[in-house]
Amino acid sequence: MNRDRFPITQIAATVDALLGVPCHGGAAAPLSPVLSQAARSLTGPCDRLFLYNPDAIAQWIYAGHRPLFAPLEVRADLGLGMLSVYPPVTPACFASMYSGLPPAGHGIQAYVKPVLTVDTIFDDLPLAGRRAAIVSTEGDSISLIFQGRDVDYYILPTVERCNRQAMALIREDRHDLIVLYNGNYDHWMHRGGPETPWALRALRDNINTYCALHDAIRERWGARNAVLAFAPDHGCHRQYGFLGQHGIDDPSDMHIWHFWKFFPARQTQP
């Protein structure tokens, strides 16, 4: 493991710790920088957590296109260099992110999408009486591998409908945890390359989505201590010089960057 970055297996216990939920056995330890920042920034325990999962945004893409990320950076309190799991393919990565286990531990070690039989945050939260929602496009990993849990599933045909649903859930304020997946950058990266105009347009859309989520949370959840994360699963690389791909043990695919924002509850006037 690279000592200057954190494995994505630490996300699961971080989610549980932020929400005050006991974590299942075997998961990697929580991210201490996130918990420390939460303790400094929030006025009490975390009430609401929103995890935004755009697919395949590599750290080298972030480093090479920093101006695109400027609106996101001003809406974040903490950035962390993260290490994906091998193989860096979507179902293995999200299984690791939300179970806290390496691929050998949860069983997804290739691009396959079985329903996980190990415990995840989507098992931990219902046991603790906390309500969770998964919002994803049909057929994608998050919509399939976490099925069978006592959570609310919003599985929709397009990214646009998923994003509208996520905004509606913020307004309704019924869930302790919301997970939103967007695969549009990954889609265009595979079909033309990581830095084609189409891929960068999708990247800009992902950044704009994060910003819209941020602004909605600040407005709608103002009376709550809330946390928002921008958390890709893996990176990507050029194949044959121009096409986009991922799945190799290389920094291009394994190194990603996560952002965290902490919203302290605003005091209401008596």
pLDDT (0 to 100) of residue 242: 64
74 in any annotated domain: yes
**Which strands, in side-by-side order, build the sheet including 78-83?**
6-7, 78-83, 255-263, 226-230, 48-54, 177-182, 132-137, 152-156
44 in any annotated domain: yes
Q: Tell me the C-alpha distance between 100 and 30, whole Å.
A: 9
SS3 244: strand
pLDDT (0 to 100) of residue 231: 98
pLDDT (0 to 100) of residue 4: 66
pLDDT (0 to 100) of residue 1: 32
32 in any annotated domain: yes
Mean pLDDT per 10-residue section of the chain, whose length is 270 residues: 76 98 97 98 97 97 97 98 97 98 97 97 98 98 98 98 98 98 94 94 98 98 97 90 84 97 76
Give the CA count within 13 Å in the CB-facing half-sphere of 141.
25
51 in any annotated domain: yes
Range of the domain at 253: 6-263
58 in any annotated domain: yes
Q: Which residues contact 249 (CB under 8 A, 6 or more apart)?
A: 86, 87, 88
pLDDT (0 to 100) of residue 270: 39
269 in any annotated domain: no
pLDDT (0 to 100) of residue 241: 66
Q: Domain count for the chain, please give it.
A: 1
37 in any annotated domain: yes
Which helix H or strand E contains 201, and what residues bound it? helix 197-220
Residue-wise pLDDT for 43-91, tens only, equals 999 999 999 999 999 999 999 999 999 999 999 999 999 999 999 999 9
137 in any annotated domain: yes
CATH of the domain at 239: 3.40.720.10
Global pTM value: 0.95
